[in-house]
């Protein structure tokens, strides 16, 4: 999200046809017969129930295939396992404090378009979605193959009790739901997402209050997040509002806005992340690989956003498109325009760090963006943090950028920008460019010629080709034992495709 992020709102390339083997043709009808009668009640004016499955008319059915009773707000208070099968998620379904929803491998959940369906784990609630390499769990659009669009449904939201810089249960999650998040437990546990795909999510509840593909609100490090793919999200693919959760093996595929967005004191770790952009899809607020804020006002509220990323690959719009133009007539949606009022825009930067963020990134690759890096001082003093070593960008390879760096949002010239006088000094390079090129940072700037796109093979080839210009180092993370100590830069080691088997790079045509 951009226009930032307003604390009001809500808590939670085409691969070959063979990749559609991730579809669930072999799903059996679910058998949830262990559930018994539901206990009903109310929760904050919403209907609550110990059961989560219903008939299409909203009547109780422990063996039903509809998740939620269809109301805009429904609160699940029980402990249920969804057996492998195909379900429809209808309305906003809250997993309440103390409740647990477990989903078996191979399950497909289709988000209802009419009710803007969303699944929201509230603080103290748990979503256990543990798929496997062979049987990922899929959240997708209910629309027919060929008719799916970004924003067909809401998305998945996890909220917890870990710290943020807005207070304990003081921050409402972005997107519209009622849920507030935040606490004092950095090890809080909101559940598990493993081998999970989220497709065509991100419904705009209101302007600048969209639900993301996958949203984290103050999620703690006791939560397990690995092997997750978000495709065709109508807003950010992933966004973290505070929290300490650690994540590995994340894919952001052809999202609308930003790929990885960090805010409100997120301090977790992320390793092995891939973003692949569609050169025809960008947001009106301008799309980035990273977007990072300390908070909306760029204040010094603590904890600061100090997330640490390593082994990331950001493949921008020029990576596979030699004809790309960053103009509104070229960026036309490519036939994937959502039917919910979202408007097209332009691409901006591989990394847009602003508003007092102290994000760190190591051992990574970015290819084919209009701008490599923007250290934006419009609000707060991000450039001072970089100068003082509080924001580190080390061993990063940029290839094929129109400008290595620029200092100000929507100004692409590599000139020094004075935020007080709001003028450009065309005789001096930008702070962002100069900082990135400092020898002590160990970064590289390379040329790039667009190559043909032929699925994941071309993605890995691009990443490893550019990444080979550098050797990874974790010396500055000696006190952080969470990261794998690998010697390659970017998301992939040559010959190791960790996306194989469980991802899907053609979800718009997959039969579920």
The mean per-residue pLDDT over the stretch 269-274 comes to 99
Q: Is residue 297 part of a domain?
A: yes
> Which of 324, 248, 253 lies closest to 486, judged by CA?
248
Residue count of the chain = 512
Q: Is residue 25 part of a domain?
A: no
Per the DSSP assignment, residues forming a β-bridge with 111 are: 89, 141
Give the number of domains in the chain: 1
pTM over 0.85: yes
pLDDT value, residue 42? 95
Cβ-based burial of 81 (10 A; exposed 0-12, middle 13-18, buried ≥19): middle
Q: How confident is the model at residue 2 (pLDDT cuts 50, 70, 90)?
A: low
Q: Is residue 18 part of a domain?
A: no
pLDDT digit string, tens, across residues 36-54: 579 999 999 999 999 999 9
Q: Is residue 192 part of a domain?
A: yes
Q: Is residue 230 part of a domain?
A: yes
Cβ-based neighbour number of residue 500 at 10 Å: 11
- The rounded distance, in Å, linking the Cα atoms of 203 and 238 is 14
The mean per-residue pLDDT over the stretch 424-445 comes to 96
Q: Is residue 468 part of a domain?
A: yes
Residue 3 has pLDDT above 50, yes or no: no
pLDDT digit string, tens, across residues 62-120: 999 999 999 989 999 999 999 999 999 999 999 999 999 999 999 999 999 999 999 99
pLDDT digit string, tens, across residues 298-351: 999 999 999 999 999 999 999 999 999 999 999 999 989 887 767 889 999 999
Q: Is residue 22 part of a domain?
A: no
Return the SS3 of 463: helix
The mean per-residue pLDDT over the stretch 377-397 comes to 97
Q: DSSP secondary structure string, 178-240?
A: S-EE--S-TT---EEEEEEEEES---BSSTT-BPPSEEEES--TTSEEEEEEEES-SS-SEEE
pLDDT value, residue 407? 93
- The rounded distance, in Å, linking the Cα atoms of 445 and 467 is 11
Domain that holds residue 307: 35-509
Q: Is residue 261 part of a domain?
A: yes
- The rounded distance, in Å, linking the Cα atoms of 11 and 95 is 11
């Amino acid at each position: 999200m951009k226009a930032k992020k307003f604390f009001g709102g809500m808590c939670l390339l085409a691969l070959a046809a063979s990749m559609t083997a991730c579809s669930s043709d072999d799903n059996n009808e679910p058998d949830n017969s262990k559930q018994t009668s539901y206990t009903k009640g109310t929760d904050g004016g919403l209907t609550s129930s110990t059961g989560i499955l219903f008939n299409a008319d909203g009547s109780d059915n422990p063996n039903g295939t509809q998740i939620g009773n269809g109301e805009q707000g429904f609160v699940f208070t029980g402990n249920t396992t969804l057996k492998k099968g195909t379900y429809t998620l209808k309305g906003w379904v809250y997993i309440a404090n103390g409740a647990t929803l477990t989903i078996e491998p191979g399950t497909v959940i289709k988000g209802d378009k009419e009710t803007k369906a969303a699944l929201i784990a509230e603080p103290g609630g748990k979503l256990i979605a543990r798929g496997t390499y062979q049987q990922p769990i899929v959240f997708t659009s209910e629309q027919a193959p060929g008719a799916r669009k970004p924003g067909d449904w809401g998305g998945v939201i996890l909220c917890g009790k870990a710290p943020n810089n807005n207070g304990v249960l003081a921050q409402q999650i972005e997107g519209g739901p009622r849920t507030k998040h935040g606490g004092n437990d950095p090890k809080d546990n909101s559940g598990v997402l493993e081998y999970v795909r989220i497709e065509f999510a991100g419904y705009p509840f209101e302007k600048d209050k969209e639900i993301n593909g996958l949203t984290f609100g103050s999620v703690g490090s006791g939560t397990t997040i690995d092997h997750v793919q978000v495709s065709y999200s109508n807003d950010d693919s992933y966004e973290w509002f505070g929290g300490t959760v650690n994540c590995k093996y994340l894919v952001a595929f052809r999202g609308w806005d930003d790929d990885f967005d960090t805010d409100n004191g997120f301090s977790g770790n992320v390793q092995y992340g891939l973003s692949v952009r569609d050169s025809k899809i960008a947001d009106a607020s301008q799309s980035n690989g990273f977007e990072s804020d300390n908070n909306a006002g760029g204040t010094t509220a603590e904890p600061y956003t100090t997330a640490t990323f390593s082994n990331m690959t950001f493949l921008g719009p020029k990576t596979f498109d030699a004809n790309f133009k960053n103009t509104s007539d070229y960026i036309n949606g490519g036939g994937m325009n959502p039917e919910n009022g979202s408007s097209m825009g332009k691409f901006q930067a591989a990394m847009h760090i602003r508003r007092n963020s102290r994000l760190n990134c190591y051992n990574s690759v970015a290819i084919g963006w209009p701008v490599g890096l923007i250290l934006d001082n419009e609000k707060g003093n991000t450039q001072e943090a970089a100068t003082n070593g509080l924001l580190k960008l080390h061993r990063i390879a940029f290839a094929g950028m129109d400008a290595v760096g620029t200092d100000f949002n929507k100004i692409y010239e590599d000139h020094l920008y004075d935020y007080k006088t709001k003028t450009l000094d065309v005789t001096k390079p930008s702070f962002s460019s100069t900082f990135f090129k400092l020898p002590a940072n160990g970064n590289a700037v390379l040329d790039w010629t667009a190559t043909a796109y032929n699925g994941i093979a071309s993605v890995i080839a691009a990443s490893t080709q550019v990444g080979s210009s550098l050797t990874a180092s974790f010396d500055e993370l000696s006190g952080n034992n969470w990261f794998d100590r690998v010697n390659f830069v970017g998301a992939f080691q040559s010959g190791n495709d960790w996306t194989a088997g469980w991802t899907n790079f053609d979800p718009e045509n997959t039969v579920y």
